Structure 1
Amino acid sequence: MRRRLRRHRHWRRSGGVAAAVSSARNGAKTLLVEKRNGLGGLLTFGMLNFLDIKHGSDGKSINKGLFTEWHKLVGGDSAFDIELGKAAFYKMVADEKNLTLSLSTQLVSAQLGADGSTVEGVKLRNKNGEFSVSGKRFIDATIDADFAAMSGAPFFIGGEDIFDKSRLMSVTPVIHLKGIDWAKLKKASKASGWKFGKVDFNDTTAWGFAELFTLYKPVENNTRLRGLNLVRIRQSDGDHFYINALQIFGVNGLNENEKKTALEVGRRETDHIVEYLRKEMAGFEKATVASDATELYVRETRHLKALYQLPMSDVWRNQDHWDSIGHGGYPVDIQGTSLKDLGTVVSNPKTYAIPLRSLIPQKLTNMLVVGRAAGYSSIAAGSARVVPTGMTTGEAAGAAAAQSIKSNVNFHKFSADEKLVETLRTTLEKQGALVKHFNSKYPYQGNGTIMQLRSW
C-alpha cells in the first residue's frame, strides 16, 4: 500500500511533536510517526522529567514558541508529571486538522530518488503490515538521526570530530522511587553533620548532593553515582520521585543488545543505591523502587554533518547568525565518558543562535534533522542537546518544510536565499519563537590568542 502526503516526518522525541505541529499550522499535510504507543519519547517513556531550561535576563526561558505552549500545559515548572506530559503532547497533535498521527509504527527503510540527494518515501510497519508513504519534505527527529543515516546523510560518532570516536558520554537509567520523606530530607540537608554536599530545593526538585560521588561505592562494573538530580511529583497514590544520577560507561547507544544489558546493570545497581540511601541519608529510610527504567537516557551517538557545523566557538562567543531560527544557551555540560573522566561544564553562554543551515544534511536536499543529533560539533552539542532547544529546532523545521514546499525550493537553495530565510524567521516570530538578532559580549573578547581558537 502506498500513501502520498505533502510532507512526512519520523519522530521519537519532543522535537518531533514541535516539528509536526508547526508544519501543520503552516498548512502542510503532515504525518507524525512514532514507534511507541504514546508521545513524549525519552521525556515520558524514559522518565526524564527534569527540564534543563535556560533563562534569559527577564527570568523566562529563552526557548519560547511551542516549547512554552507545551510547558504551560504541564504546569510551567522545572519538572512535570509524566502522564500529564504525554497528554499535553497528544493535545497539541490532536488539535491540528492537517496532522495525522501513526503510533506503534516502525521505520523499515528509506526510499531515495535516482541521484540519492532526495528522499521520495519511506517504508513503515505497524500491526497491519508494511506500507509506504511518499512525501515532499522529511524531518528526522529521532534521537540518533536513524532516518537521516538510513537515507545516506553523512554523520560522525561521539567525539570523532576531535579525533576520539570512542568518546561517548555515559548513559543513564532514571531511578523511580516512592517513600522519600521530602520534608525530612530538606531539613537534614541543612543540619550539622550532613555529609553529602550542598543541596538546592524548590517544591518539585532538589539538586546537588555532590559528595555522593566519592561516598557511594558502586557494585557493578563501569558504573558511578554522581550528585542527585531529584524530581518530586505529587500523585493521587502519594509522591513519586525520579533520580537522574546513575552513570553507566562504555555503552554504544546504537547497539540494542548493549542498551539492554545496560538496563539490566542499572536495575541491579539501583537496588544497591537504594539500600545505601536508606541506611545513610535521612528521608530515604522508607524508599522503595516504584518501577524499573525501560529506556536509557543516551546522551550521545550520531552527530549530523550539516551545511553549517555549529562549533563550540560560536557557543562561548554568544554568536548570532543571519539565518538564526532560534536560540540556545544552556551550559555546555559534557558528562563523564569513562570512570577516569569526571565530566565538565566547558562554558556557560548567555545565548547563541542556531542557524537553519545546522539542520540541513550535506547530501540530502529535502530533509531536516532536529534535536540533539543535528549539526553541532560534539562539544557544542553538550549545550544544544537539551529538550527546550530541541523543540525550538523542531518548530523551525516544521515551518521551513511547509514554506519550502510552497516556494518549490529545496532546503539547500532555501537556506541560501536571504528573502526566504527572513520570511521563515518572521513566521517563527509570529508563532512566539525567539529569533530576534542580538549582539552579546563574550569572555576574553578581543584577546588575540583566544581568537586563534575560533575554529574549535
Structure 2
Amino acid sequence: MKTIMEPSREIPVIIETDVLVVGGGSAGMSAAVTASRMGCNVTLIEKFGFLGGTLTSVTLGSFCGIFTVTDEAIKPVVKGFQEELIERLKRYEGVLPPHRWLKTASVSYDISCLKKVADELITESGVCVFYHTQAVSVVKENKKVKGVIIENKDGRSIINAKVIIDASGDGDIAAMGGAPYEIGSNGITQFPSSMFRMANVEIEKIVHITRDEYQGYFQKAKKDGYSLPRVSSGIHITPLYGVVHLNVTKIAREDGNTINPLRVEELTYAEIEGRRQVFLYAEVLRKYVPGFEKARVVDIGSHIGIREARLIKGDYILNEKDVLSCRKFDDVIACSAWPLEMHGEKDETKWVWIEPGDFYTIPYRCLIPQNIENVLIAGRNISTTHEAQASTRVSAVCMAVGQAAGTAAYLALKCDNNVRDISIKELQGFLQKGNAFLG
C-alpha cells in the first residue's frame, strides 16, 4: 500500500474532565447521566447529532431485555435508568405498555420522542456533550489511557480524562488502549439488519397477526420467487397510529458470509444492500399481508443495525453456560432474562430461552478490559463470548450496564482512577439507591 508521511503537529487539549464517555447509545447516555448526578465532571462524545445509538440511529423500535416472563406475570429485571427513561417518554405519549410475544415482552417507543427525552436527561444532569465527534486515537501512559484524540468540524484535539467509559459499541477505546479482543467467533459475527418503519398500515387488521403467521406469508412469497434472506420477523406497532416498525431484513456479503463491521467497504455494501432489502420486504408486505395494502416506507435507520463487532476481553468473560444456567455472581452489577437471540446463517432467527421467571447476572469484572487500569466498557462490547453476547447486547441490559459503569467511574476517582480497586459492596449499594435491580 502506498503511504505518505503526515507532518507532525501540536494538538490542543480542549477539556480536562473526570469522566469521558465515548458513545451516547443506551449504555453511554445511562453512564454519563449517572456519573454526572453523582458529582463527576462528565464529558460525552457522540458521532451522530443525537443520543440513543441503535435505539435512534437504527430505529430499533422497542426496548428489549427489561422483563422476565412467566404465564402469569411480566416482571422487570432492569429498572433504574431504563425505568426513568420510560416514565419520561410517557409524558409525551411516546411509549406503549409492555407487549408479550413469543416467550418474552418488549416496550415500543417513538424514536423522535426518545431523542427529545435523551436531550432533556443529558442537559439536566449537566453533562458536557460533543455531537458529530469521533474518537480516533488514545494517549496512553503505562496502563492508563490519559486522553482520547477526537476529530470534528473544529479539527483534531484531545480530551484528557481520569476515567474513560468505552460505550462505542465496537470497543474502539479499549482496543486502541491495548485490550485484547475477538471479532465475534473467529471473525463470524451475527448478521446485521436494516430497520425501517411503514405508515398507512391498517392496525385493526394486523394487531392479531402472530409471528408464525408473518413467517407463513414470507414463506409463501419465497415460494412465489421472492428472494427473501429472512422469514422470521420483528414487526411491532408503535405509539404513532398507523405506523409499524419492522426488523425483518438480514444483510450478508455477496458470498453469503457475515460482513466485517470494522471494514468500511463492507459497511458501505451493507448499507446499500440493506436499503434494497427494505423495499423488497415492503413490496412483499403490501402484496401478501392483510393491512399492509396501502402501506409505504416512511423511515429507514440512518445506520445499519450492527449486532456484534469487537468482544473486548475483560477480567471475566461471560459465557453461554452462565446465561442459560441463570448464574448469579457475587459482583453482580446488572441482570438480564433475554434469551440467546442468534441471527445466524439460516433464514430464521434462533432463540434459546432461559427458565421462565428466572434471570442471570452480569459481574462487574465483565466491564474491566484486560491490560488497562482506568477504562470501563459498557454496552454490546462488554466481555462475553459470541454466544453470550447474543443475550447481553439488547438495549435495556446495556442501560443497566451503563448505569453500573457510571457509578463505578465515580468510585474509581477515589482510588487513583483504578477501576479494579473500588469496593464492590459500595458499588452495589449506590446502584440499589439508584433503583437498579440486582436480583
Q: TM-score range by the shorter chain?
A: 0.7 to 0.9
Q: Secondary structure at the match of 2:215?
A: coil
Alignment of 1:193-342 (within 5 A): 198-199=210-211, 209-217=214-222, 224-235=229-240, 239-249=242-252, 250-336=258-344, 338-339=345-346, 342=348
2:190 maps to 1:169? yes
Q: 1:40 to 1:220 in 2, by over 3 A?
A: farther
Q: 1:155 maps to which residue?
A: 181
Of the three residues 57, 60, 80, the one matched with 1:65 is: 80
Q: 1:108 maps to which residue?
A: 136
Q: Secondary structure at the match of 2:222?
A: coil
2:169 maps to 1:143? yes
2:149 maps to 1:126? no
Q: Work out whether residues 110 and 123 of structure 1, in 8 Å CA contact, stay in contact via their aligned partners in 2.
A: yes
List per-residue Cα deviations over 1:240-267 (Å, max 9, x = no partner).
2220011112222112221221221122
Q: 1:325 to 1:234 in 2, by over 3 A?
A: closer
2:405 maps to 1:397? yes
Give 1:62 shift. 0.7
Q: 1:162 maps to which residue?
A: none
Aligned counterparts of 2:150 and 2:217: Cα–Cα separation in 1: 46
Of the three residues 413, 417, 427, the one matched with 1:424 is: 427
Aligned counterparts of 2:85 and 2:204: Cα–Cα separation in 1: 30
Give 1:234 shift. 4.5
Alignment of 1:79-94 (within 5 A): 79-94=108-123
Q: 2:351 maps to which residue?
A: 345
Aligned counterparts of 2:239 and 2:420: Cα–Cα separation in 1: 48
Q: Work out whether residues 228 and 245 of structure 1, in 8 Å CA contact, stay in contact via their aligned partners in 2.
A: yes
Structure 1 unmatched ranges of 5 or more: 160-164, 190-197, 200-206, 415-419, 437-456
Q: 1:209 to 1:348 in 2, by over 3 A?
A: farther
Q: Secondary structure at the match of 2:159?
A: strand
Query: What code does the residue aligned with 2:354 have?
Result: N
Q: Secondary structure at the match of 2:383?
A: coil
Q: 1:454 maps to which residue?
A: none
Q: Secondary structure at the match of 2:242?
A: strand
Using the aligned pairs only, state the percent identity: 28
Aligned counterparts of 2:66 and 2:85: Cα–Cα separation in 1: 16
Q: Secondary structure at the match of 1:380?
A: helix
Q: Secondary structure at the match of 1:216?
A: helix
Aligned counterparts of 1:351 and 1:121: Cα–Cα separation in 2: 37
Q: Work out whether residues 274 and 304 of structure 2, in 8 Å CA contact, stay in contact via their aligned partners in 1.
A: no
Query: What code does the residue aligned with 2:288 have?
Result: E
Q: Work out whether residues 208 and 229 of structure 1, in 8 Å CA contact, stay in contact via their aligned partners in 2.
A: no
Query: What code does the residue aligned with 2:194 have?
Result: P
Aligned counterparts of 2:121 and 2:301: Cα–Cα separation in 1: 26
Q: Work out whether residues 68 and 76 of structure 2, in 8 Å CA contact, stay in contact via their aligned partners in 1.
A: yes
Q: Work out whether residues 213 and 224 of structure 1, in 8 Å CA contact, stay in contact via their aligned partners in 2.
A: no
Aligned counterparts of 2:420 and 2:213: Cα–Cα separation in 1: 45
List per-residue Cα deviations over 1:138-185 (Å, max 9, x = no partner).
0000111112112211111111xxxxx142211100022112111123
Moved over 3 A (4+): 218-221
Give the TM-score normalised by the residue count of structure 2. 0.87
Aligned counterparts of 1:120 and 1:256: Cα–Cα separation in 2: 28
Aligned counterparts of 1:167 and 1:129: Cα–Cα separation in 2: 35
Give 1:208 shift. 6.1
Aligned counterparts of 1:407 and 1:332: Cα–Cα separation in 2: 36
Q: 1:440 maps to which residue?
A: none
Query: What code does the residue aligned with 2:157 have?
Result: F
Q: Work out whether residues 68 and 338 of structure 2, in 8 Å CA contact, stay in contact via their aligned partners in 1.
A: no
Q: 1:42 to 1:366 in 2, by over 3 A?
A: same
Give 1:12 shift. 4.0
Aligned counterparts of 1:157 and 1:169: Cα–Cα separation in 2: 10
Alignment of 1:18-33 (within 5 A): 18-33=30-45
Aligned counterparts of 1:366 and 1:229: Cα–Cα separation in 2: 39
Query: What code does the residue aligned with 2:260 have?
Result: N
Q: 2:102 maps to which residue?
A: none
Give 1:268 shift. 2.0
Give 1:275 shift. 1.9
Q: 1:212 to 1:276 in 2, by over 3 A?
A: same
Aligned counterparts of 1:79 and 1:363: Cα–Cα separation in 2: 39
Give 1:26 shift. 1.4
Q: 1:51 to 1:281 in 2, by over 3 A?
A: same
CA RMSD of aligned residues (A): 2.0
Q: Work out whether residues 203 and 242 of structure 2, in 8 Å CA contact, stay in contact via their aligned partners in 1.
A: no
Give the TM-score normalised by the residue count of structure 1. 0.83
Aligned counterparts of 2:303 and 2:417: Cα–Cα separation in 1: 39
Give 1:355 shift. 0.6
Aligned counterparts of 2:220 and 2:194: Cα–Cα separation in 1: 20
Q: Work out whether residues 59 and 300 of structure 2, in 8 Å CA contact, stay in contact via their aligned partners in 1.
A: no
Q: Work out whether residues 263 and 293 of structure 1, in 8 Å CA contact, stay in contact via their aligned partners in 2.
A: no
Q: Which moved more, 1:209-218 or 1:144-153?
A: 209-218
Aligned counterparts of 2:287 and 2:298: Cα–Cα separation in 1: 18
